[in-house]
Amino acid sequence: MTITAKYEKTITVQAKTAVQALEKVETILFDTDLISFDDDDFVGGEVDISDACEDECDKILKEIAESLAAIGDVEF
């Protein structure tokens, strides 16, 4: 089973040049501690279930779907 959650966050970068702005954005993207995401940033999710997944996966999927539905749209 693969679970993918999608979040969006708007950031503002101040720089004197386009190159400096690009460097700052790269730093932000590669240092995951610089931006925090919460439930308000959640925009959707997907679950991909393999054929090997049986009853136990169905139970887990139901719990995940209920959790995701509480904070946003879920796509299956």
Query: Could you give the CA distance from residue 69 to residue 74 in angstroms, rounded to a whole number?
Result: 6
pLDDT for position 37: 83
- Which H helix or E strand runs over 39? none
Neighbours of 66 (CB within 10 A): 10
Contact 13, 34 (CB under 8 A): no
Q: Look at the pTM and tell me if it is higher than 0.75.
A: no
- pLDDT, one tens digit for every residue, the chain (76 residues): 677 888 888 888 899 999 999 999 999 888 878 888 888 888 888 877 666 666 677 777 778 777 777 766 555 4
As to burial, measured by CB atoms within 10 angstroms (0-12 exposed, 13-18 middle, 19+ buried), residue 45 is buried
